[in-house]
Structure 1
Amino acid sequence: MFWNYLKLESKIAFTSKKNLMLALIIILFFPIVFVQQLQDDSVSLKDLKDHELTMATNAVYYLENIPNPTPEEQQVLDNSLQQLSSLGYQKYYISNALSLDEMEFIDEGIKLNEQRLKNHELDNAGIPPEYIIPKEDILIEQQKLQYLQEHQLPLEPEPTTMSSFSATAMSNFSVLFVLLLIIIGSDLLTFEKRHDSILKALPISFSKKIFIKICVYSFISFIAISMGLFAGNAIAYFHSGVGNFQNPIVIFSDGQFEVIQTTQFMVQVGISIILITLMILTISILLNLLFNNAFANIGIGIIVFIFPLLFASYLQNWNWLHFLIFVDYSGTLLGEHANNLTNSNLTYTASYAWIASLTVISFILIYIKQNSYYLKEILLKTFNRSYGQ
């Protein structure tokens, strides 16, 4: 009966117009992201260095015009002058990139960040706040430069190669994925409610039904994501080539930022997607049992999982609600939520533990709900035996 029910559930899922439409949205998302990347007007390395040079020049101007500088202010000035020297070399490199070694540019960048960190140790004495680069940004850039130096990788990887596209697309997919998953799981038990008499002919336990449903709908989601990613990567390959899956990506782990390869990042994204899929589908089944209304399930799912992502800035002082944003695997992995909410506990490892725990709790609640009648009978019999004597 297990295989018969699996075939029936698969047929229902793969012929559902709603599921096909949602799968199509997922598949089309990735080519659309690639087109957006082609039109992206991100800040160039030249513009970035122009801005940094202006900031450093202004900082030096303010420091040189301090009437009686303290020893700390004098040291900050000396460090800032060395920063100007490194930035000047980097500007020269950008103008003569064909005749210079890219590794020398990276070396100067590492020296530049070392001087910036020294100034932070001196509390940037004498420098106006608007000309100070945050320490966190410096540390992130330093790790990336050291990684590029160690692995002899290009300074600016082509953004439309397969490697760059894959990381960007999966990062941008996070919130849309959660929303579509909520909709997919909104009516998992509807068919049973409408055709209860037919399904009675298939003597299979409710727990096996749940297992089959989660497997089938997870499979549909993973197939749609795989097809979309394949389509986007195929376009990226013919346009710009494979790229390098060793390129660095900065993630937030154990309370600090660290650099990992693009391949490792994609593995972490894959684990997150699997765990989130299992959790949301399990919660959807629980809501189906409680409310038996697809619109109620969607509404509750959006309120619980989507609203906190849209209004995350308002959760600053509500630490006990921060766990709700773990469904945004991209913001968690990249440290955006930990940074915005100043909560170092919002790491991807913590999200794995929280999501797995919530999935288990949902399974327990489903079991209690489905077997509530029998549990009541057992409790009553136990009570009567205990007090009847």
Structure 2
Amino acid sequence: MFWKFTLFETKLLLQNRKSWFIAAFLLAFFVLFFMYYSQDQPEPLDDQKRTETQTSYAVFEHLDLLRHDLPEVAEVYNYHTQIQSLLGMQVWFIGSGHDSEQYIENGLEINQLRLKVHDIGNAGIPNHLIVPKEDILKEDALLHYIKDNELPIEPDSYSTNHYITNALSMFSGLLFLVIVLISGSEMLLYERNHQSVMKGFPLSFIGKVTSKIMIHFVHIYTFLLVGFSLGAIYMLRKFEAGDFSFPILVYKNSNYIAVSTGQYLLYMFLGLALITLLLLSLSILLNMLFKNAFANILIGLGIFILPDIAMAAGLKASFLHPIKFIDMYKVLSGDLATELGNSFIDYWNAMAILGIITIVIISIIYAINKFAYHRVPKNMPLEKAF
């Protein structure tokens, strides 16, 4: 009976214009994003290093004016002399020198020197020219990964990462939330409003809910994966971007680690899968409580912005932080941990909490249905609550 009901619900889904609109959007989003984004080429690595060298030279001039009067500035000046020299060599190695190994070694040495400068307080360096410690640690994690995996470095090595992370940052969070809420806005209401022939089918309410969540999950996730794959193919051909072995930074245990682009995408899409299940379960619950498709979307959006409202009101409200885990890009990048001032927020902690929330929502659905079922009038024995 379960599979017959699932087949019938699948046919209803395929006949629904809203479902095809969502499918078309998911198929087109990444391709259109990369087409538009082709106008914004990422800055090549050699140009980034030249800019970094010029900034470093400006620091060098500030230190030179103060080093004769202040001993602590003289120490920073000595470190910065080495940094300036190593940056110049990096520009050579990434350009005409074509020596990835030496480029990496120089970069690691620069990071160690900059950390020493941080340890002595960045004396004599203007605040706007100080390289943040977080940026140093990020660069260090990337270089260690490249060194350990013996990856060659070219001026456009990071281009694949640049396009992918920008696309996912745009898609993750609010946009994905709206897509899933729209998809699930009538999961129970459609059958209720149209009094389908399957309403009296000998299948438990939980069986029906499981079937509906499964169908909508497969629908959303299939078109999401196909859409991203089409976008990735377009990107690789259009921009001649590199392979998926180059690293992307992921926030973990109050630190940053580098993982391959392929591993990053695995983390991202596993996270989106769990978020999809959570939001579809939430849609079922909202359908049961409010019996209105628009309420499903509006209340879902309202819940998502609760942490922002609390922050604007000056409330810490850390118990609301899990709501923002829906933005998986910010979880992976560490931006959410920084934004909320909560170092606990990393990928695996977020996944565990999202999983627990999903189980809690499903338990509430089961409990409400059981309670409503026992309240059915005796003269209407076949009338279910939902």
Q: TM-score, normalised by structure 1?
A: 0.88
Unpaired segments ≥5 residues, structure 1: 378-389
User: Which residue of structure 2 aligns with residue 112 of structure 1?
Assistant: 110
8 A Cα contact 1:26 1:224, kept in partner: yes
1:87-236 equivalent positions in 2, closer than 5 A: 87-93=87-93, 97-155=95-153, 156-157=155-156, 166=164, 168-175=166-173, 176-196=175-195, 198-236=197-235
Paired with 2:310 and 2:240, the residues of 1 have a C-alpha distance of 38
8 A Cα contact 1:316 1:341, kept in partner: no
Q: Which of the pair is proportionally richer in helix?
A: 1
8 A Cα contact 2:138 2:256, kept in partner: yes
Change over 3 Å in CA distance of 1:115–1:236 after alignment to 2: same
1:1-389 equivalent positions in 2, closer than 5 A: 1-66=1-66, 69-93=69-93, 97-155=95-153, 156-157=155-156, 166=164, 168-175=166-173, 176-196=175-195, 198-239=197-238, 243-305=242-304, 317-373=316-372
Aligned-residue CA RMSD (Å): 2.6
8 A Cα contact 1:158 1:164, kept in partner: no
Paired with 2:37 and 2:157, the residues of 1 have a C-alpha distance of 11
Paired AA for residue 198 in structure 1: V
- Which secondary structure state, in structure 2, belongs to the residue aligned with residue 65 of structure 1? helix
Which range moved further: 298-307 or 312-321? 312-321
How many aligned residue pairs are there? 374
Paired with 2:144 and 2:308, the residues of 1 have a C-alpha distance of 33
1:175-218 Cα offsets, whole Å, 9 max, x none, are 32222011111111112212336234411100000000010000
Paired with 1:252 and 1:309, the residues of 2 have a C-alpha distance of 22
1:38 Cα deviation after fit: 1.8
Q: Percent identity?
A: 32
- Which secondary structure state, in structure 2, belongs to the residue aligned with residue 260 of structure 1? strand
Change over 3 Å in CA distance of 1:194–1:210 after alignment to 2: same
- Which secondary structure state, in structure 1, belongs to the residue aligned with residue 40 of structure 2? coil
1:309 Cα deviation after fit: 7.1
1:135-158 Cα offsets, whole Å, 9 max, x none, are 000110111112112222233445
Which range moved further: 58-67 or 269-278? 58-67
1:344 Cα deviation after fit: 0.5
8 A Cα contact 1:182 1:280, kept in partner: yes
8 A Cα contact 2:42 2:162, kept in partner: no
8 A Cα contact 1:166 1:229, kept in partner: no
- Which secondary structure state, in structure 1, belongs to the residue aligned with residue 300 of structure 2? helix
1:313 Cα deviation after fit: 7.8
- Which secondary structure state, in structure 2, belongs to the residue aligned with residue 257 of structure 1? strand
Which range moved further: 329-338 or 55-64? 55-64
Paired with 2:224 and 2:27, the residues of 1 have a C-alpha distance of 6
8 A Cα contact 2:191 2:199, kept in partner: no
1:50 Cα deviation after fit: 3.3
Change over 3 Å in CA distance of 1:291–1:3 after alignment to 2: same
Change over 3 Å in CA distance of 1:132–1:67 after alignment to 2: closer
Paired with 2:125 and 2:306, the residues of 1 have a C-alpha distance of 40
1:241 Cα deviation after fit: 5.8
Q: TM-score, normalised by structure 2?
A: 0.88
1:53 Cα deviation after fit: 2.2
Paired with 2:230 and 2:238, the residues of 1 have a C-alpha distance of 12
Change over 3 Å in CA distance of 1:216–1:167 after alignment to 2: same
- Which secondary structure state, in structure 1, belongs to the residue aligned with residue 66 of structure 2? coil
8 A Cα contact 2:275 2:354, kept in partner: yes
Change over 3 Å in CA distance of 1:167–1:129 after alignment to 2: closer
Paired with 1:198 and 1:168, the residues of 2 have a C-alpha distance of 46
- Which secondary structure state, in structure 2, belongs to the residue aligned with residue 371 of structure 1? helix
Change over 3 Å in CA distance of 1:247–1:90 after alignment to 2: same
